[in-house]
Structure 1
Amino acid sequence: MEAPKQKDIVWMDFDPSKGKEIKKRRPALVVSRDEFNQHTGFCLVCPITSTNREYSTYISIKHPQKIEGEVVAHQLRSIDYTTRNLEIIEQCDMLTWIEVTEVIDMFI
């Protein structure tokens, strides 16, 4: 399987999840660096939801091509992309990417 790249928007399976964690098959934004993804078999992702929330950690995709919605930055997680049925869809636009990384920088 091809390793996802940083800024890829992918479809993936989030189950099994617990509690308030995002569930089901849905899109996600890959935030980890390409080298990390290639060498570990893992990647860091933020799920994307169609639910519109007025929270600072929900970032609207500014220039959607195929995937619309909001990146949920506070649910950043590490996943084994070889077991999550991952499918690469498109690349994130730069305005959205900058906003997502600024939000993540506030809590790491």
Structure 2
Amino acid sequence: MSAYVPEKGDFITLSFDPQSGYEQKGRRPALVISNFLFNKATGLAIVCPITNTNRGVPFHLPVPSSSSLMGFVMVEQVKSVDFKTRRAKFVEKAPAQLIEDALAIVDVCVK
């Protein structure tokens, strides 16, 4: 059986330790926003962590109620992670609209 390689739009859980400052820490869910080819070639995945706390931040996207997860995708904390070392586990696929919205926010932030 081959090792799991995340795909764009996967909700996963992984360890965000170590962290510093305002970064999320501990094992938590995240949304993968990088594509499969990038992830497979580099062993990294670009993710946005998910928090349970609604702080009214405009860059936070609510996880749809149809998901088994609850919370808000923290698009401003986009991060590249080694998914093998951080023991990433697949949870479920995110809705297409959530992925599009997250990528649009990232695009606006980095232009």
The TM tier, using the shorter chain, reads over 0.9
Q: For 1:1-108, list aligned pairs within 5 A.
A: 1-108=3-110
Listed as ranges, the gaps of 5+ residues in structure 2 are none
Separation in 2, partners of 1:41, 1:67: 25
Q: What per-residue deviation string (whole Å, max 9, x for no partner) do you get for residues 56-104 of structure 1?
A: 1111012432111100000000001110011000001122112111111
Moved over 4 A (4+): none
Shift of 1:52: 0.5
| Aligned AA (1:92) | A
| Segment of structure 1 superposing worse, 26-35 or 57-66 | 57-66
Of all paired residues, the percent bearing the same amino acid is 33
Shift of 1:14: 0.2
- Asked if the contact 1:63/1:93 (under 8 Å) is kept, the reply is no
Aligned length: 108
| SS at structure 2 position matched to 1:55 | coil
| SS at structure 2 position matched to 1:101 | helix
| SS at structure 2 position matched to 1:44 | strand
| Aligned AA (1:104) | V
